[in-house]
Amino acid sequence: MDKARMWRRGVSPRLWLAGGWLLLALLAAIFAPLVAPQDPLAQDLMLERLPPFWLDGAEPGYWLGTDSLGRDLLSRLIFGGRIAFIVAFAAAIAACLVGSTLGLIAGYFGGWADRIISRIVDIWMAFPPVLFAILLVAVLGTGLSSVILAIAIIDWTRFCRVIRAEAMGQSRMDYVENARIAGYGRIGIMLREVLPNVVPSIVALLSLEMGIAVIVEAILSFVNLSISADDPTWGGIIAEGRLSIHQAWWVLVFPLITLILTVLSFSQFGEALKARFDPVLR
């Protein structure tokens, strides 16, 4: 299959690039106070809308330029990465725990459990996700934990749908029947036999979900509903950039590149993991 060839030849360097970017961004975020050249909140109207370093009028120390309040863009991006990664990890793991558990139960036990869980998933799928997220954060109040909770509440269905289908497939396999004949309990089989076989899908989905969580956080802070408006977030910087697009394009371009690289990296990881664990493609 051509995909298998692609995996052997093409994906590995891309995977290295993706991993390199994520590691770089993550380290910068963790060590933000050490790495950031300026205070991300310091306003200086003398330094407003400085262009990035290769253009005329740039100031040393403000590598990517400044926004309309004279705040250093690079430092804001680095600090914004903290929020992005916290949300990515926490929200994706929370969504994964809820969704995978329900999906496993629905897929393995079937019957009423499946009917109820599937109906709830149907109801969830009838919501426009972005609107649902905005509504939840408005209701829960802005703040980091609200954003994480909102994303988890919305996106658990992504895990549930896939894991349900996989667990359903697994539970029809011979080895499950054999385990039952050998006298294992239903919950024991689910956890010890079925779960390990769906873990690869869970891991791949987790990586994809992290990219999605980064985007949703950016969207929420874009409409000014993420954390407090003062803290730098990627979406918040984009909102500023959208406003001053004709005066200072760099305020929009750099966070956009950052977001695109991050999302592509997470999805590359997810795809690669999926291909790696998929017995057909392997």
Partner 1 sequence: MTARIFHREYEPRAPAKIYMLLQRFLIRLATMLITLFGVAVVVFVVIRVAPGDPIAMMLPPGATDADIARLRALYGLDKSIVEQFFIWLSGVVRGDFGTSISLRQDVLGLVFNRLPATLELAIVALVMAVAIGGVTAILGARERGTAVEAGIDIASGAALSIPDFLWGLVLILLFGVLVPIFDISGRVSPQLDLPFVTQFYFFESLLRLRFDLTWDLLKHMLMPAVALALPLAAIISQLLKQSLKEVLDLDYVVLARVKGFSETQVILREALKNAALPTLTLVGVQFTFLIGGTVIVERLFSYEGLGNMAIDAVINRDLPLIQGIVLVFALLFVLINLAVDMMYALLNPRLRHG
- Cα gap 79→65, rounded to integer Å: 16
Environment class of 34 (CB within 10 Å of its CB; exposed 0-12, middle 13-18, buried 19+): exposed
- Cα gap 234→197, rounded to integer Å: 37
CB of 219 to partner 1, least distance (A): 5
**Which range, of 64-72, 94-102, 105-113, 116-124, touches partner 1 by CB under 8 A?**
116-124
CB of 209 to partner 1, least distance (A): 13
Between residues 100 and 268, which has the closer beta carbon with respect to partner 1?
Answer: 268
**For partner 1, what does the binding mask look like between residues 225 and 254, x meaning CB under 8 A?**
x------------x---x--xx--x--xx-
CB-side neighbour CA atoms (13 Å) of 54: 1
**Which range, of 51-59, 126-134, 177-185, 187-195, touches partner 1 by CB under 8 A?**
126-134
Task: By CB under 8 A, tell whether 259 contacts partner 1.
Answer: yes
Give the one residue of 219, 231, 274, 275 binding partner 1; rule: CB under 8 A: 219
Q: For residue 102, which of 113, 91, 112 has the smallest C-alpha distance?
A: 113
CB of 19 to partner 1, least distance (A): 16
Buried-state track 200-218, b at ≥16 Cβ within 10 A, e below 16: bbbbbbbbbbbbbbbbbbb
User: What's the Cα-to-Cα distance from 187 to each of 101, 177, 201, rounded to whole Å?
Assistant: 12, 13, 20
**Which range, of 22-30, 37-45, 56-64, 121-129, touches partner 1 by CB under 8 A?**
121-129
Site for partner 1 in 3-22 (CB under 8 A): 6
Between residues 38 and 80, which has the closer beta carbon with respect to partner 1?
Answer: 80
Q: For residue 66, which of 38, 87, 108, 34 has the smallest C-alpha distance?
A: 38
CB of 158 to partner 1, least distance (A): 12
52 Cα distance to chain centroid: 28
- Cα gap 147→133, rounded to integer Å: 8
Between residues 107 and 235, which has the closer beta carbon with respect to partner 1?
Answer: 235
Give the one residue of 4, 61, 119, 185 binding partner 1; rule: CB under 8 A: 119
Between residues 135 and 144, which has the closer beta carbon with respect to partner 1?
Answer: 135
Measured torsion, CA atoms of residues 138, 139, 140, 146, in degrees rounded to the nearest 10: -40
CB of 2 to partner 1, least distance (A): 7
CB of 93 to partner 1, least distance (A): 21
User: What's the Cα-to-Cα distance from 167 to each of 105, 162, 239, 248, rounded to whole Å?
Assistant: 8, 9, 42, 51
- Interface ranges with partner 1 (CB under 8 A): 2, 6, 119-120, 122-123, 125-132, 134-136, 138-139, 141, 211-212, 215, 218-219, 222-225, 238, 242, 245-246, 249, 252-253, 256, 259-260, 263-264, 267-268
